[in-house]
């Protein structure tokens, strides 16, 4: 059997109601209270010295008669940031604890299964420190097959968002110069204010539609990013950088959209003048 060294994501930390023994290292968790900051919906995650698994994945391991691991209850609480990002998320989890039945060929191995670089071995890696989490290939298959219903709904929603925003963008692009010329016309001539409004509307809607498409595509891509991927910045630095980039991009794109609006306005005006010249 192949074995994998696993380093699950850290979705938060130990809550204030956690009870641990202090007579050994790593300490034994007797009662786990897990405090969530974020969760990328992986089936398995950790916070030293314990591992937490979704109830759905735990049920799958029980059904497969997994050895080397037992499950216990987990109480959870969430940060304000988590509530803002995952307001509708339910948190059904179990504490996964390795037991002394773990041995070669079993599902879960080692006394204290913590590091997911997915290093692969053709046999049981005897020389690894007990701080590693080592899973058999059959367990990996069970965890990979476990998808939270909310995750599936998010993926479907992102796909629907891509389709909807594409229809929106295509509809705006079909608003041609001749169409805008017809819309700006009145019984007594052309309305110059309507020309400007239509040109600005097309430019801003076009930019907005494209940005929405990109946003939903990035959301889909995020599900493919491995949980072990990290960036060399702290969370506050990332938030500050995102805010600065958002403000800068807004003004840059607003400037470009205004230039595009003037381009559309010039084309409409030229089309009107061409029509007036032809009628004369």
Tokens of 244: 């600065």
**Per-residue exposure over 229-257, b if at least 16 CB sit within 10 Å of its own CB, e if not:** eeeeeeeeeeeeeeeeeeeeeeeeeeeeb
Contact (CB, 8 A) for 74 and 32: yes
Distance CA 15, CA 33 (A): 5
pLDDT tens sequence across 69-93: 778 888 888 888 777 776 666 667 7
Structure confidence at residue 1 (pLDDT) = 57
Tokens of 93: 């989890």
First to last CA, the chain: 86
Q: Is the N-terminal amide bond of 49 cis, ω within 30° of 0?
A: yes
pLDDT exceeds cutoff 80 at 166: yes
pLDDT tens sequence across 98-149: 554 444 434 444 333 333 333 333 344 444 444 456 676 667 666 766 655 5
Distance CA 202, CA 168 (A): 11
Domain ranges of the chain: 3-147, 150-279
E-strand stretches of 43-158: 44-47, 50-54, 69-78, 93-98, 108-109, 120-121, 133-136
pTM for this structure? 0.46
Output the average pLDDT for the chain. 72
Structure confidence at residue 109 (pLDDT) = 40
Q: Report which listed range, 33-47, 123-137, 248-262, is most confident.
A: 248-262
* Candidate from 52-56, 62-66, 104-108, 205-209 with smallest mean pLDDT: 104-108
Residue matched to tokens 């900051």: 37
């Amino acid at each position: 059997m192949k074995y994998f060294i696993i380093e699950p994501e850290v979705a938060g930390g130990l809550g204030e109601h956690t009870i641990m023994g202090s007579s050994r290292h790593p300490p034994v968790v007797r009662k786990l209270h897990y405090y969530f900051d974020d969760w990328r919906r992986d089936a398995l995650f950790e916070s030293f010295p314990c591992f937490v698994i979704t109830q759905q994945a735990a049920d799958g391991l029980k059904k497969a008669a997994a050895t080397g691991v037992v499950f216990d209850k987990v109480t959870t609480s969430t940060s304000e940031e988590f509530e803002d990002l995952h307001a509708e998320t339910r948190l059904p989890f179990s504490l996964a604890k390795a037991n002394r039945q773990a041995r070669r060929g079993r599902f879960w191995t080692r006394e204290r299964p913590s590091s997911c670089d997915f290093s692969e071995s053709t046999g049981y890696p005897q020389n690894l420190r007990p701080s590693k989490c080592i899973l058999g290939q059959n367990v990996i298959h069970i965890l990979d097959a476990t998808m939270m219903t909310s995750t599936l709904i998010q993926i479907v929603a992102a796909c629907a968002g891509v389709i909807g925003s594409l229809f929106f963008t295509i509809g705006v692009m079909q608003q041609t110069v001749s169409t805008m010329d017809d819309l700006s016309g009145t019984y007594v001539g052309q309305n110059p204010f309507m020309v400007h409004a239509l040109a600005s509307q097309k430019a801003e809607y076009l930019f907005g539609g494209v940005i929405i498409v990109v946003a939903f595509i990035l959301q889909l891509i995020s599900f493919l990013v491995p949980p072990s991927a990290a960036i060399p910045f702290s969370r506050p630095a990332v938030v500050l950088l995102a805010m600065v980039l958002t403000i800068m991009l807004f003004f840059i794109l607003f400037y470009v959209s205004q230039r595009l609006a003037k381009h559309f306005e010039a084309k409409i005006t030229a089309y009107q003048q061409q029509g007036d010249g032809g009628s004369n």
